[in-house]
A and B are shown apart, each in its own frame.
Chain A
Amino acid sequence: MSSSTASSPPFLQLSNVGKTYGGVRALEGVDLTCRRGSIHAIMGENGAGKSTLIKTVAGVVRPTTGEIRLEGVPVNFHGPAEANAQGIVCVFQELSLMPDLTVADNICAAAPPRRGGLIDMKAQRRIAEELLASIGCEDVHPLASVHDLSLSRRQMVEIAKALGKKPKLLILDEATSALTRRDVETVYALLERLRDEGLCLLYISHRQAEIEKLADTISVFRNGRHIETFSKGTRTNDEIVRMMIGREITAHFPPKPPPPPASAEPPLLSLENLSWDRQLKSISLDVRKGEIVGLGGLDGQGQKELLLALFGVLKGVSGTVRINGQPAPLHGPVDAKERHALALIPEDRKTEGLMLNMSIAENLIAASFDKIAPAGIVDRAREKQAIDEAIRRLQIKVSDPHNPVSTLSGGNQQKVVIAKWLMTGPQVLLLNDPTRGIDVGTKQEIYRLLRDLAAEGTGILFYSTDYEELIGCCDRVAVLYDGHVVAELSGAGLNEHALIESALNLGPAGAVAPAHEEALS
């Protein structure tokens, strides 16, 4: 422990905290201490127990064993409301905004300003405006419904909401995973200011760069156990990674093959002047066999819509899509899957990717009935074989494929989604930020998998908010800005500087569209 203030008790102290879900030990014998005026990062691979740890502190789950002390006093919360009352505020990994309520209602949800016993709408609006302004989100209207906001705006609203509770201990559980670069800067500045004001901050992220920049203390978790706590800079990155996954990691990204020679063969997927609503503007793009094409840019510039459009989810898309040179009209997911062998890994795995209450096995076969039930009757043997193969291929950590998929950790859930689609044998794979909230180890597995698929001839279109990932993993990156492709980067031109420059539309091509504040999507 690097703590030196021995006189006063530490702000937060966990001793021997453990939590089991049925047979699963999510946490075991955790001892942890957090001081005021520090940003304390928690690291660990998927399923390491980070979220569970946070939930025990925030009163969402009751620990099965152990004790939590706040400023030396043992506490036992019956729900997040009680924790909030003690100044423990958490921004959870799964957003806790109510989508149908207004931004102001959300921000002031639990303790709205009141006058004469009734909620004071004017005061509430003022508070919301002030909080939003303090994190640089003046573009969010306090009366807008949250469901009209983009994911990155929602995360900012979530942060504003947490700040409104006047926290003493602020916990951010992957709260910045979808933030745009610019927001991240604002949030960094904010967090540092809060630290200087004497708050205790717990910060969970899978982005090593963020932690390097922000944290002063780092704790690493593995398999529900606290491995070590140390000050930033006392360990190398490789050492940290080894602590997290318990083994050596060699190269971060698999090597890229040399660019294929220009061929007369038509591209696998070819978009021409694709437009939709106000969010996609005349997009032209090719994906060749065996190529991984990235989609870059700030969040909410049309990347998500482009993937949905290709999968036939959007109505009123104009322009042409060709697959292997043949025009491929976009009729819907069924058509995309069965006729064109497309696959989409959606944005939100909990609601769009998985049937959470169903078993892992059922989820794996969900897209492959034409394979395992050729005549409409499920072939049990084929089903079992397909499931086993999928679990093996993606190394999904399951004790029993008949358990509900909701019992898996985030990373393993994502693997289930990917495995489900690989089972269909897609020729084009569309990925919407597949590594969001996934640990380095799993990320690496996914990168390698993508590379292997490409080598087998699959075309991959890959949207990510992580620049490093785009650079390391993609052969070529199309950067979107306000629905336009503003740059296509490849080879040496594919670097962080160029990515950021074109994402902000500052490139030599100049402003394609008038500067447009991304607010309502």
Chain B
Amino acid sequence: MAFPKAGRLGPDNFPIVVALCCIVLILAGGSVYTVSTNGTFSLLSPSYLLQQLQIGAFLGIVASGAMLVILLGHIDLSVPWTLTAGAMMATAVGGPLAIPAGIATGLAVGLVNGLGVTLLRVPSMIFTLGVNAVMGGLMVAYTGGYAPQTDATPLMRFLASGRILDIPANALLWLVVAIAISSMLRFTAFGRQIYMIGNSEAASYLSGLRIRRIAIATFTLAGGLSGLAGVLLAGYSAKAYQGMGEPYLLPAIAAVVIGGTSILGGRGRYAGTIVGVLLMVLLNSVLSIMQMPEAGRQIIYGVVITAMLLIYSREGARR
């Protein structure tokens, strides 16, 4: 069921609570480390937490798109180069049109994904993989042939790393995205229909839903969010560069799933994605602060995700 009644710990809320507990554990573990090394509780300081919010906002926006596609019962593996292309196009265009150009690039790639998945009926996992390769190829060819401008505009920089009332501007932007998407999922026909298609495409089709249009719109929206994330990331780094999208694909999917969204589609809440994103970002940050070697970092990463999902599925089985 997509919309549990408020007030009870429904199957969709359980993962959110577990993930929140996990976040508390991570912060506690990290604090033990900082106290023992520096004698400070710097992880609990507002400045550190706000900074994590700022860093998390990029992943949050990517994960928003990933969640929509996953709810639809698909997956978007084109995130890395869509994001990069968005960033590179934004900086190449520059000026006031930079941000629209970046987002439009993402929307265009998303549109191609949507068309391929719905009209050609290629499984999304493979089509978006191909689109990612093509976008990578395009960006390499583009950089090699045209030596584009890569400096972010001041507005991009402000949106990515500026502060409004001491709150990171990009976190506020994520908040806007979050409110927009969660109300879309709850209150609009489009959002509800995403869940329906994710549950059963055949039944949705025979119910007279515009399944193609909805799928195309969802992929396009997800692409646009990747483009937006690219624009912001370029603002954060003050420039666009080729590898910038790579670290966002798998963490975004992991964040969505840790947040309780079913990887099969049709089920999940946006609040879960928020919590999942914060968990991933904090885990990464705390491991980095603890100077954990890469080997240990990967193992912890895998174990945390597995353990959390096992807890969710046990809970699901108990019901």
Which residue numbers of A lie inside 8 Å of B, CB to CB? Answer: 22, 311, 313, 333-334, 336-338, 344, 346, 351-359, 362, 366-367, 369, 373, 376-378, 402-404, 420, 424
Contact A366 B204 (CB under 8 A): yes
Select which of A336, A355, A377 is within 8 A of B203 by beta carbon.
Answer: A355
Select which of B4, B188, B200, B208 is within 8 A of A355 by beta carbon.
Answer: B200
Contact B189 A355 (CB under 8 A): no
Contact A362 B195 (CB under 8 A): yes
Q: A376-B189, A378-B187 are in contact. Are A359 and B206 (CB under 8 A)?
A: no
- Candidate in B200, B203, B210 with the most chain A CB atoms within 10 angstroms: B203
Chain B residues with CB under 8 A of A337:
208
Question: 7 closest pairs, A vs B, by CB?
Answer: A337-B208, A355-B199, A373-B189, A369-B189, A367-B207, A366-B207, A355-B200
Contact B206 A346 (CB under 8 A): yes
How long is the Cα–Cα vector from A354 to B207 in the complex, in angstroms?
9
Contact B206 A353 (CB under 8 A): yes
Q: Which residue of B lies closest to A369 (CB)?
A: B189
Closest approach, in angstroms, between the C-beta of A417 and any C-beta of chain B?
9
Contact A358 B193 (CB under 8 A): no
Contact A333 B205 (CB under 8 A): yes
How long is the Cα–Cα vector from A373 to B184 in the complex, in angstroms?
12
| Residue B202 interfacial (CB < 8 Å) | yes
Which residue numbers of B lie inside 8 Å of A, CB to CB? Answer: 1-5, 187-190, 192-193, 195-196, 199-200, 202-210, 266-267, 319
How long is the Cα–Cα vector from A362 to B187 in the complex, in angstroms?
13
How long is the Cα–Cα vector from A355 to B196 in the complex, in angstroms?
7
- Candidate in A313, A344, A346, A378 with the most chain B CB atoms within 10 angstroms: A378
Contact B196 A366 (CB under 8 A): yes
How long is the Cα–Cα vector from A311 to B208 in the complex, in angstroms?
10
Select which of B190, B196, B209 is within 8 A of A362 by beta carbon.
Answer: B196
Contact B206 A356 (CB under 8 A): no
- Candidate in A344, A358, A420 with the most chain B CB atoms within 10 angstroms: A358
Q: A333-B207, A334-B209, A376-B189 are in contact. Are A402 and B202 (CB under 8 A)?
A: no
Chain B residues with CB under 8 A of A378:
187-189, 192
Contact B205 A369 (CB under 8 A): no
Select which of A354, A358, A377 is within 8 A of B266 by beta carbon.
Answer: A358
- Candidate in B199, B203, B208 with the most chain A CB atoms within 10 angstroms: B208
Contact B205 A357 (CB under 8 A): no
Q: A369-B193, A373-B188, A378-B192 are in contact. Are A333 and B199 (CB under 8 A)?
A: no
Contact A376 B190 (CB under 8 A): yes
Select which of A22, A336, A353 is within 8 A of B208 by beta carbon.
Answer: A336
Q: A358-B1, A358-B195, A367-B208 are in contact. Are A377 and B319 (CB under 8 A)?
A: no
Q: Which residue of B lies closest to A380 (CB)?
A: B187
Q: Which residue of B lies closest to A367 (CB)?
A: B207
Q: List 14 A-B contacts (CB under 8 A).
A: A22-B319, A333-B205, A355-B196, A357-B199, A358-B1, A358-B2, A359-B3, A366-B203, A369-B193, A376-B188, A376-B190, A378-B189, A403-B1, A420-B207
Closest approach, in angstroms, between the C-beta of B12 and any C-beta of chain A?
12
Q: Which residue of A lies closest to B1 (CB)?
A: A359
